[in-house]
């Protein structure tokens, strides 16, 4: 008799899990916004950018972001391909911080640290599509997510949103907002697209020219946590104040770039970086309202991606505009604390063009 009861209980749980998985699957979709031959596809799983189609100097259309062919691969993804990462992007040392006298212990998912909000951060949840206009004069999509109090260890309820919009000529606008509904909490959202202007399957980005409008970095300890210092890039391999090849000083690095740059400009909308792929002619100019940007050159990437192409280390670069990493544990860094009275706002502007020389 007990074995029959146990079997019924097992069947109940299997059906329950199947139903939950099926409901989740129904909520996930792919949405395209399009303006002429400029197209961006987004999924509400992690509010991810999954493709950006642009012409090259010969007029050939190519996909310039790394990704996968199926939603299930994004669900299993560990590289944050195209995602909005949060509630706090980058690392929090020791997976803990103190706010208003209370110690908050987070879920560690990067050694002893918390990375990109924890194992189930904003990149691994289903966002709600609140507005969507595919084409016309103002194509855009807005996605929202309600993060509950205690999620991944963070205090308070947060309502987050991201809008992707296309403008002429070849401009992608990303606006991230967040409101703390009842408690002070850290918020630091970042857009984590892996860019390869030559095309997602064109090889490495080491020959790309890059210019970063930042004269300092925040150096890291052996666990990739900022030491709290802010040091100049002059006479170091981190100096991109003038355009030069991404890989031109790799011989002076342990393993590529994965570093935060405090931006020099004090303007609200700051120049961040310019990337140029000479072979395709494509150029990307990035501006943002954030105080810093993380340059990451996909140093350990080995993934089977779109069309079965295997991405290797240095197949793309990420320019994650953000607040300073681990700011919750460094009082000298700009604060990332959001309160019910002070909301979070973060705008990015990608301007794409073609240089034919």
Binding residue numbers for beta-D-galactose: 90-91, 192-194, 258
CA atoms within 13 A on the CB side of 203: 6
Active site residue 151: no
Q: Catalytic residue among 116, 124, 192, 200, which?
A: 192
Phi-psi region at 271: left, alpha or beta (left = phi > 0; alpha = psi -120 to 50): beta
CB distance 64 to 195 below 8 Å: yes
Active site residue 192: yes
Q: Catalytic residue among 276, 320, 330, 346, which?
A: 320
CB distance 118 to 97 below 8 Å: no
Which residues have CB under 8 Å from 76's CB, separation 6+?
none
Which residues have CB under 8 Å from 48's CB, separation 6+?
42, 67, 74, 81, 82, 83, 84, 123
Query: Alpha-carbon Rg of the chain, whole angstroms?
Result: 21
Binding-site annotation: residue ranges: 90-91, 192-194, 258
CB distance 155 to 102 below 8 Å: yes
How far apart are alpha carbons 134 and 213 in whole angstroms? 34
| Active-site residue set | 192, 320
């Amino acid at each position: 008799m007990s074995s029959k009861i146990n079997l019924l209980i097992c069947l109940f749980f299997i059906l329950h899990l199947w139903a939950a998985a099926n409901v989740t699957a129904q909520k996930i979709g792919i949405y395209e916004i399009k303006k002429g031959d400029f197209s961006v596809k987004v999924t509400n799983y992690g509010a991810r950018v999954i493709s950006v189609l642009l012409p090259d100097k010969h007029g050939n259309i190519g996909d310039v972001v790394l990704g996968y062919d199926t939603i299930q691969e994004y669900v299993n993804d560990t590289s944050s391909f195209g995602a909005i990462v949060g509630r706090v992007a980058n690392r929090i040392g020791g997976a803990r911080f103190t706010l208003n006298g209370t110690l908050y212990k987070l879920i560690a998912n990067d050694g002893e640290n918390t990375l990109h909000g924890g194992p189930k951060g904003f990149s691994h949840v289903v966002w709600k599509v609140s507005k969507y206009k595919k084409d016309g004069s103002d194509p855009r999509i807005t996605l929202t997510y309600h993060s509950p109090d205690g999620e991944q260890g963070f205090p308070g309820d947060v309502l987050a949103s991201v809008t992707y919009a296309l403008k002429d000529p070849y401009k992608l606008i990303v606006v991230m907002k967040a409101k703390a509904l009842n408690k002070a909490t850290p918020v630091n959202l970042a857009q984590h697209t892996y860019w390869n202007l030559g095309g997602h399957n064109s090889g490495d980005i080491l020959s790309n020219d890059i210019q970063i409008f930042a004269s300092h970095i925040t150096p890291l300890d052996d666990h990739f946590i900022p030491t709290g210092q802010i040091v100049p890039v002059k006479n170091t391999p981190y100096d991109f104040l003038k355009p030069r090849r991404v890989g031109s000083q790799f011989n002076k690095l342990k393993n590529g770039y994965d570093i935060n740059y405090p931006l020099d400009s004090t303007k609200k909308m700051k120049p961040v970086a310019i990337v140029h792929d000479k072979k395709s002619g494509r150029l990307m100019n990035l501006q943002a309202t954030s105080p810093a940007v993380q340059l990451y050159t996909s140093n350990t990437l080995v993934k089977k991606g779109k069309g079965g192409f295997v991405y290797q280390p240095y197949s793309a670069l990420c320019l994650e505009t953000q607040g300073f990493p681990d700011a919750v544990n460094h009082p000298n860094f700009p604060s990332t604390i959001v309160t019910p009275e002070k909301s979070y706002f973060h705008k990015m502007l990608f301007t794409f063009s073609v240089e034919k020389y």
